[in-house]
Amino acid sequence: MVRKLKYHEQKLLKKVDFISWEVDNNLHEVRVMRKYRIQKREDYTKYNKLSRNIREIIEKVKQLDPKDPARAAYTSQLLEKLYSMGLIPTKGNLAVCEKVTASAFCRRRLPVVMVRHRMAQNLKTAITFIEQGHIRVGPDIITDPAFLVTRNLEDFVTWTDTSKIRQHIMEYNDERDDFDLMA
């Protein structure tokens, strides 16, 4: 029979992470998953694979002859795609694309965008709002926190029409219409 842990022992156990061991070398992975509140490890591994594929494509494009017109076309297409996805800050050159990591994909997740737009105070509440169906992107209601928001869709992240949170915000700002009161 095991004795009950004392208070200080319980506190110490909270600081120990049994999932990430030094031997596994996944300390960085756990840190990123905790920072962006990623619930599924598969999502993070998918982002890692995507960023690795992007770096491999960049290496293949760099191996082409600099005077080749195809290289310029591939470079511009790659820069345009990564910029429109929001993974790179500018369409400068391929050196910017080499810095695309899994964290760049994590920064484009819907809860992070909501916190950046001050729709939620922290990632935990943003994830809760999304899972409860309070958020829509364009005309679609999104219930998956792993939804990636592109630069074009970033302006269309809003509350659903039937959301109580939206009604509270409108009442607070004195913007609620009398027609909405009947609904």
**pLDDT at site 42:** 92
**pLDDT at site 5:** 85
The residue-averaged pLDDT of 158-167 equals 91
135 domain-assigned: yes
**pLDDT at site 17:** 66
Residues 34 and 96 reside in one and the same domain:
yes
183 vs 175: CA distance, rounded Å: 15
Domain's final residue, options 105, 133, 167:
105
Structural element, H or E, at residue 157 = strand 157-159
Residues 45 and 90 reside in one and the same domain:
yes
Q: In sequence order, what E strands does 43-83 have?
A: none
66 domain-assigned: yes
**Which residues have a Cβ under 8 Å from the Cβ of 127 and sit 6 or more positions away?**
37, 39, 111, 145
Strand, coil or helix: 88: coil
62 domain-assigned: yes
* Containing structural domain, residue 39: 30-105
**pLDDT at site 93:** 86
Q: Give the count of alpha carbons within 13 A of 39, CB side only.
A: 10
Q: How far is CA 22 from CA 27, 43, 48, 109, in A?
A: 7, 22, 20, 28
Domain's final residue, options 105, 136, 163:
105
Q: Summarize pLDDT for 68-119 with one digit per residue, the tens.
A: 999 999 999 999 999 999 999 998 888 888 889 999 999 999 999 999 999 9
113 domain-assigned: yes
19 domain-assigned: no
How many folded domains does the chain comprise? Answer: 2
Copy the structure tokens of residue 136. 């829509």
